[in-house]
A and B are shown apart, each in its own frame.
Chain A
Amino acid sequence: MGNPIAQKLAGIVGTSALLVLTTACGGVTELTKQQVARSETAVTQAQTTVGTSEAGAIELQQAKETLSQAQQAMQRKDDKTAQRLAGVAELDAQLAVAKSQSAASRKAADELLASIQTLKREADRSSVVNSEK
């Protein structure tokens, strides 16, 4: 990832692949295959994180659909579309995870705040009872 020459080369490969694509039916680049594979992993991970919870469920569904479109594009050797869709699917999966995590944190924070309120109320009440004794 860190090698700029490799990146540049990849860019050129990508460009030429696209150019090829526009003229003839070329193959799918290694880069695209990697991206699709990465998206598949991301979707699987998101599935685990989101689980059955509501938060992130829509985004996860979106990620699955986009990934499936990417896979279809790859099958019909539409390299550019496959790569882009796979990239978006990965982002969808990341969003699903982020949403699920933020909902869980929010829930925990709200529950804690509520428990503090209850504690405060109980403390106040017991002090009133005691002062009336």
Chain B
Amino acid sequence: MKRIKSLILSASIIAVLGACASTPKTIDELETARALVPQVEASPRAGIAAENVSQARQSLERANKLATSGGKLEDIRYESVVATRNAQIANEKILTAQAKEELAKGEQDRQAVVLEARNREADNARLQADTAKQKSASLEQELKDLKAKKTDRGIVLTLGDVLFDTGKATLKPGAYSTIDRLAATLKEAGGRKVQIEGHTDSVGSDELNQTLSQQRADSVAAALMQRGVTSDQIIATGKGEGFPVASNDNAAGRQQNRRVEMIFTDDSSRVASDAN
């Protein structure tokens, strides 16, 4: 800066000494400086390049003064070029600062996006876990767990005779866990109906077997209703000894025939029509 001052000094002395060169109406370098310097001065980030902005202004002022006082063309050009270069440097510094601000802000944004994505992933995982839970709680899943079989009549769950005392219709406590689970899922699936069928082996009179089978079916129905399943969801029927699933000639076969079947159809209407 001081050096430039000494140059002005030299220039003005030379001017005083009488080099009265006539200056042209427009000097390109001066016009460029006049256009550029106010631009960088107006930038809100001008402070970042304060030194260059101030040098640019000072050189421009000198150039203007020289131009109005009829200074030498080469001096005006020189000051104008110095003003322009400083304004250009200031402009690049301002642009650099601007880009760096964007970088800093962008880094924050990027972290926010990553965090958001991570949170959303966690939410999705939770959602999927919940859905899976719901699925497992559904009637189908419950029946599958209880080893129910899919048949033409619907899903059939067989409660073996081990759940009843011999010749009696009272449910043994061992049946309770199965009944609890069925009751819970039936309550949840309010529209679903279940057909309960009692079956016996061929031992004993038909009449007795018919009664026993009906009583056992009723006993299961009662246990379900005790646990909150509504009566309109249940149809209990005694089927007697007429529908064996195995031979009545041996003990193992007879045991298979003594059973209560619970039939769940795919929709409530089919059970209703089946019952008719």
Contacts and interface: CB of A to CB of B under 8 A. Distances in A.
Contact of A98 (B3, B5, B92, B117): B92
B2 A95 contact: no
Given A19-B13, A101-B92, A10 B2 contact: yes
Given A87-B82, A105-B99, A126-B117, 18 more contacts: A1-B2, A7-B3, A7-B5, A10-B2, A10-B3, A11-B6, A14-B10, A35-B3, A83-B7, A98-B88, A99-B92, A105-B100, A109-B106, A112-B103, A113-B106, A119-B113, A120-B113, A130-B124
A128 B106 CA distance: 25
Contacts of A102: 92-93, 95-96, 99
B81 interface: yes
Interface string B110-124: 100110110011001
A22 interface: yes
B89 A15 contact: no
Given A101-B96, A123-B120, A127-B124, A95 B89 contact: yes
Given A11-B5, A18-B10, A127-B124, A95 B92 contact: yes
Given A11-B9, A102-B99, A116 B110 contact: yes
Contact of A106 (B99, B114, B124): B99
B78 A112 contact: no
A interface: dominant SS: helix
Interface residues of B, number: 39
Interface of B: 2-7, 9-10, 13-14, 17, 78, 81-82, 85-86, 88-89, 92-93, 95-96, 99-100, 102-103, 106-107, 109-110, 113-114, 116-117, 120-121, 124, 127-128
